[in-house]
Amino acid sequence: LFGRKNTGDNTPVICHLFMIEGAQLEIRFLIKGGGSENLSALFMMRPSSNVEDLKEKILGHLKTFGVNACPPLHVGIGIGGTSEEALLLSKLALTKDFEERNHIEAYRILEEELLKEINALKLGYQGLGNGMSAYSVSVEYYPTHIATLPVALSVDCYLCRKGRFTIEDS
């Protein structure tokens, strides 16, 4: 806000550490540009909201702003936890393989339906209306307080600079 300037060294780097079981280290990375990052959104939905309410929020946001993020998009959705957790979940969802689907059937169906409906928006390649609007939709879920329903949306542009690998203890 005050005196902002490019650091010239690609900072800041954001790093999250999670404990996992076993003698291994999993590293995930996601390199995003400003256009796709600016599309991030948090919706604090009514606890009584249903799947159609959630889809309406996501689709409405992408219809209005999706062309600004260099489609075709990779869409990550985080549901539950706190507002902070939902946003992190949506970013973690972007690190999944394109064809990887949620192991919970209801969320897997939501991913498939949203992908079809996002492509029906006809954002097209680079927002020109021709071709697909999204390559993938991934949903991550975490339990939440019964009085809240945070839903976060993160997208990545067509470049999709991401990776995931595991280092095993030998």
3-state secondary structure the chain: CCCCCCCCCCCCCCCCCCCCCCCEEEEEEEECCHHHHCCCEEEECCCCCCHHHHHHHHHHHHHHHHHHHCCCEEEEEEEECCHHHHHHHHHHHCCCCCCCCCCCHHHHHHHHHHHHHHHHCCCCHHHCCCCCCEEEEEEEEECCCCCCCEEEEEEECCCCEEEEEEEECC
pLDDT at 55 (0 to 100): 99
Model confidence at 129: pLDDT above 80: yes
State the pLDDT at residue 21.
Answer: 84
Tens digits of residue pLDDT in 37-67:
999 999 999 999 999 999 999 999 999 999 9
